């Protein structure tokens, strides 16, 4: 069979990974899966996503020459966030080989002997990275879908499934096997002495890995009974590794605020910052933390499912075929599909843009109602929003905005006192901040919002350099707030449902 003229080969060094991809695929779509982070959110001004060309070139080398000149980069570098793959390409990714923390925050660590593996145990995706503890260098990465997803994309479905002993054991076995598989892949053909494996994840992932009773997580007030870090030896997990390897799943903070958020707090440095800052993870539970080095309040909101596509008619997660951005060009709708292929559905970042575009076009009013039932909210020929989708979006954005307001109120501050909002999570990397602000999802000035990338993984890497997995000192400053129990929640929530920044023309 001849070569498909629409396909090209991408080789990624230093990992030696090869992929066949569609011509025209943005490099960002692919590299994100390997844990490459985009410090300025892919806007082309930080240079943090630079890659070195070893063979072939990306689309429009002339544009890149100008960018390189502005950023002082050598001519053989390209910014991944600005690159499209148009021919066979071999790249070297400096970020993967030399730097532990991809944003501009300096992470100081005490070098140690041996090697460590940091794992972000996400509801949808698992990412594991092998780190040289003597210098913080990243040696290899493995990613996989969370195999539990077949028992429900939504985390509550998994909790329901794990309520029986059989279900609990099955989900435990699946996640343990998959993570072991990633570890074996990372260690294959390498002569390294593994010292520890540190996992972070939300409270449900923590419980499912540990085979713990999830019943308290299935009902109000959703408070876990087990709030300790889980420590294992390899033989306890049936993992064929030297018995001296320490294996830790880091403890959650509270109900639905897991160690992934704790990892985000330390990755953002908000636990050391005297100014008021906030961390928002738009992943499954829509967690929010607001505070400074002395006091932090955290909460989880019901924002996640809509942004992850779970309750949206044509919703899907941010993978090939998902519309990830939508914009208006002279009142004409334009959109981008991940993987440069036919649109199959829409993911969270696309949903945010689509709602903003339909508000802009006057097809939705400021209360969220579809103005004309006869005029469907079409994005591509087969992907559209329904009135119910818009309502789901409103519920999610109101939950997020109300949660933030309540936490700020509890600190006796106002939203304008916030000096920085860090957006965590993979999905956060792709969102359009202008729309986030205009839609009232995050009510602080756009310039104060910084995308952190996979902060859970960054924090997990930092945790490889500690021995204190109880964090009593930091945890004593973090207070978990149950939003449902707050007497003002309903009023604030209803108020935040509106799109005040859009006035629909009649």
Q: How far apart are CA 174 and CA 152, in angstroms?
A: 14
Closer Cβ to ligand FES, 248 or 458, answer by number: 458
**For 322, how many CA atoms within 13 A lie in the half-sphere containing its CB?**
23
Q: How far is the CB of 208 from ligand FES (least distance, A)?
A: 34
Look-up of token digits 């539970």: 285
The four Cα atoms 160, 162, 163, 167 give a dihedral, to 10 degrees, of: 120
**Closer CB to ligand FES, residue 82 or residue 486?**
82
Q: Identify whether 254 is preceded by a cis peptide bond (ω within 30 of 0).
A: no
Distance in Å, CB of 42 to ligand FES, minimum: 5
Using CB under 6 A as the binding rule, whether residue 46 contacts ligand FES is answered as yes
CA distance 208 to 148: 10
The nearest distance, CB 68 to ligand FES, in angstroms, is: 11
Count of residues engaged in binding ligand FES, rule: CB under 6 A: 13
Q: What is the closest distance, in whole angstroms, from the C-beta atom of residue 36 to ligand FES in the complex? A: 9
User: Binding ligand FES by CB under 6 A: which of 11, 13, 24, 47?
Assistant: 47
- 43 vs 488, which CB is nearer to ligand FES? 43
Question: Edge to edge, what strands does the sheet with 77-79 contain?
Answer: 17-22, 7-13, 89-92, 50-55, 77-79
Closer CB to ligand FES, residue 49 or residue 436?
49
Partner residues linked to 325 by β-bridges = 336
User: Which C-beta is closer to ligand FES: that of 83 or that of 277?
Assistant: 83
Q: What is the phi/psi pair of residue 459, to 5°?
A: -65, -40
- Minimum CB distance to ligand FES, residue 77 (Å): 11
Q: At closest approach, how far in Å is the CB of 432 from ligand FES?
A: 14
CB nearer ligand FES, residue 165 or residue 434:
434
Q: Which of 26, 48, 216, 254 binds ligand FES (CB under 6 A)?
A: 48
Q: Is 94 in the site for ligand FES (CB under 6 A)?
A: no
Query: How many CB atoms are located within 10 Å of the residue 272 CB?
Result: 11
Beta bridge partners of 323: 337, 346
In this complex, which beta carbon is closest to ligand FES, that of residue 194 or of residue 452?
452
**CB of residue 47 vs ligand FES: minimum separation in angstroms?**
5
Contact call for residues 350 and 324 (beta carbons, < 8 A): yes
CA distance 295 to 355: 35
Instruction: List the x/- string, 270-309, binding to ligand FES by CB under 6 A.
Output: ----------------------------------------
Of 305-344, which residues contact ligand FES (CB under 6 A)? none
Helix (H, G, I), strand (E, B) or coil at 49: coil
Q: Does 79 bind ligand FES (CB under 6 A)?
A: yes
- In the complex with ligand FES, the residue whose CB is nearer, 43 or 98, is 43
Nearer to ligand FES, 6 or 43 (CB): 43
DSSP string, 142-195: EEEE-GGGGG-SSHHHHHHHTTSHHHHHHHHHHHHHHHHHHHHHHHTT----EE
Smallest distance from ligand FES to CB 421, Å: 18
**Nearest residue to ligand FES, using CB?**
81
Binding mask 26-45 for ligand FES (x = CB under 6 A): ------------xxx-xxxx
Write the DSSP string, 107-149. ------SSEEEEEEE-SSEEEEEEEETTTTEEEEEEEEE-GGG
Six-digit token string for 365: 């009013």
Does 77 interact with ligand FES (rule: CB under 6 A)? Answer: no
Distance in Å, CB of 71 to ligand FES, minimum: 8
Site for ligand FES, rule CB under 6 A: 38-40, 42-49, 79, 81
């Amino acid at each position: 069979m001849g070569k498909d003229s629409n396909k090209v080969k991408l080789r990624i060094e230093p990992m030696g990974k090869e992929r066949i991809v569609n011509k025209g695929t943005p490099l960002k779509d692919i590299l994100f899966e390997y844990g490459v982070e985009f410090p300025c959110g892919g806007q082309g001004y930080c240079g943090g996503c630079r890659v070195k060309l070893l063979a072939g070139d990306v689309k429009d080398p002339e544009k890149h020459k100008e960018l390189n000149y502005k950023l002082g980069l050598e001519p053989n570098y390209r910014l991944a966030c600005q690159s499209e793959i148009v021919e066979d390409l071999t790249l070297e990714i400096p970020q993967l080989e030399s730097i532990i923390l991809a944003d501009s925050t300096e992470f100081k660590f005490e070098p140690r002997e041996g090697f460590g593996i940091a794992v972000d145990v996400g509801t949808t995706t698992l990412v594991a990275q092998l780190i040289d503890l003597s210098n913080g260098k990243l040696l290899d990465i493995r990613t996989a879908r969370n195999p539990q997803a077949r028992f429900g994309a939504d985390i509550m479905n998994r909790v329901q499934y794990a309520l029986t002993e059989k279900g609990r054991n099955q989900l435990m076995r699946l996640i343990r096997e998959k993570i072991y598989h990633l570890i074996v892949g990372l260690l294959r053909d390498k002569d390294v002495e593994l010292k520890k494996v540190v996992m972070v994840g939300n409270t449900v992932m923590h419980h499912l890995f540990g085979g713990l009773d999830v019943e308290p997580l299935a009902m109000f007030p959703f408070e876990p009974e087990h709030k300790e870090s889980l420590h294992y030896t390899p033989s306890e997990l049936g993992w064929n590794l030297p018995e001296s390897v320490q294996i830790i799943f880091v403890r959650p903070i509270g109900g639905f605020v897991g160690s992934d958020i704790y990892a985000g707090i330390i990755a953002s440095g908000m636990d050391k910052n005297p100014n008021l800052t906030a961390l928002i993870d738009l992943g499954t539970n829509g967690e929010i933390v607001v505070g400074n080095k002395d006091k932090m309040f955290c909460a989880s909101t019901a924002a996640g499912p809509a942004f992850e596509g779970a309750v949206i008619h044509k919703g899907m997660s941010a993978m090939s075929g998902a519309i990830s951005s939508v914009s208006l060009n002279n009142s004409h709708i334009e959109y981008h599909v991940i993987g440069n292929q036919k649109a199959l559905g829409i993911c969270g970042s696309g949903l945010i843009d689509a709602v903003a575009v339909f508000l802009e076009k006057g097809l939705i009013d400021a209360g969220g109602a579809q103005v004309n039932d006869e005029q469907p909210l079409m994005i591509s020929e087969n992907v559209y929003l329904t009135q119910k989708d818009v309502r789901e979006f409103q519920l999610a954005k109101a939950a997020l905005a109300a949660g933030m307001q309540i936490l700020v109120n509890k600190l006796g501050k106002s939203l304008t006192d916030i000096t920085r909002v860090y957006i965590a999570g993979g999905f956060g990397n792709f969102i359009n901040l202008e729309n986030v602000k205009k839609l009232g999802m995050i009510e602080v000035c756009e310039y104060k919002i910084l995308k952190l990338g996979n902060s859970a993984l960054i924090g997990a890497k930092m945790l490889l350099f500690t021995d204190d997995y109880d964090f009593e000192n930091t945890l004593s400053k973090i207070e978990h707030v149950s939003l449902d129990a707050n007497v003002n929640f309903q009023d604030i929530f209803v108020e935040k449902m509106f799109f005040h920044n859009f006035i629909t023309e009649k």
